[in-house]
Structure 1
C-alpha cells in the first residue's frame, strides 16, 4: 500500500492507473494518498492501513492478571458475580493509574460492554 501511495504522491502519477497496477480500489488509494499528504513527508511513512482493533481500557497483561484473580476466587469457592467483576475492574484500573471512561467513574464500575468483551477475550474464566 505504501509503495502505491508514494507512486501517486511523490512521483505525481495518476491514481487510477496506479490503483489498477497494484490491484487496489482507486477510492481506497485516494483516501490513503490524502492521509499521506496531510501527514507530511516526515510522518507519511507512519500512516496506518487496515482495520484497527477497538481500544481496550486495560492492557492484555492487566486483563490476564484480573482473569487469574477471578479464577483463583472461584477455585476457593468464592465466585465473583458480573457486578462484582465490573467493580473489581474499575478498582483495578484506578489503582494502576489507567485512564478510564467517564461513565466508569460516574458508576464506579466498568461498563457491561467491557464485561462482555472481557469474557469473550477470556473464555476460560466462564468455564
Structure 2
C-alpha cells in the first residue's frame, strides 16, 4: 500500500542573511567618508572605526573628493557627457545670440561651436580634432536636449551663411 503524503510548502517567516556583505549602514558610510575627506582619519582607521570595508570606503571617498559640484552627470554605459548643464546653457545662449544677430545657425555651426567651446575650456572631449567639429550624434542629442533651438527647419538655416569665428570671438570679448 502506498501512503499518500500531502505536498505542502513551508513558508519562511523570518529570513536570515547568510552573507555578511554590505552589513554596514549608509549613515556609517557617510560618517566614514566625511572623516576621510576632511583628513581626520585615514582609510584603515575609518574602516575599522565604522566597520566598513576599506575598498568600498576608498571608492566612495574618491568619488566625493575628486568630483566637482558641477561635474556632468554620469550616464549609463560607456558614454559620458562632455559639458555640464551650465555649460550647455551657455552654448544654447551663444546659439540663440547667433540666430538673433546673424539670422540662423546650421548644424555644422553648432558642431564647430561645441568643439571650440570644449577646446577653450580645456575639457576632455571625444570630438574630431582633424575636422575640429563635434559629431553628428552629439549634435542630434544636443538638439533633443534643447528643443527650443529647433523652431526653424534645416533648410532655413542653410540659406543664411554665418561667419562662425567672427561671432564666437565677438561673444568671448563681450562676456
User: Whole-Å Cα distance in 2 between the matches of residues 58 and 76 of structure 1?
Assistant: 25
Select which of 113, 122, 125 maps to 1:100.
Answer: 125
Shift in CA distance, 42/107, structure 1 to aligned 2, threshold 3 Å:
same
Instruction: Find 1:79's aligned residue among 100, 104, 109.
Output: 104
Number of equivalenced pairs: 92
Greater radius of gyration (CA): 2
Specify every segment of 5 or more residues in structure 1 that has no aligned partner in the other structure, as ranges: 1-6, 12-36
1:110 equivalenced with 2:134 (yes/no)? yes
Richer in helix (by share): 1
TM-score (norm 1): 0.59
Residue 147 of structure 2 is aligned to residue 123 of structure 1: yes
Equivalent residue runs for 1:40-79 within 5 Å: 40-43=55-58, 53=75, 54-79=79-104
Q: CA separation of 1:109/1:10 partners in 2, compared to 1, >3 Å: closer, same or farther?
A: closer
- Greater alpha carbon shift after TM alignment, 85-94 vs 73-82: 73-82
Kindly provide the CA deviation profile for residues 82-126 of structure 1, in whole angstroms up to 9, marking residues without a partner as x. 01110111011101111111x521321001111011101111111
Q: Distance in 1 between matches of 2:102 and 2:22?
A: 64
Deviation at 1:10, TM superposition (A): 5.7
Supply the distance in 2 between the matched residues of 1:8 and 1:117 (Cα, whole angstroms). Answer: 43
Gaps of 5+ in 2: 1-18, 24-52, 64-73, 152-175
Cα distance change of structure 1 residues 10 and 82 upon mapping to structure 2, 3 Å threshold? closer
Q: Provide the aligned C-alpha RMSD in A.
A: 2.9
Deviates more, 1:103-112 or 1:88-97: 103-112
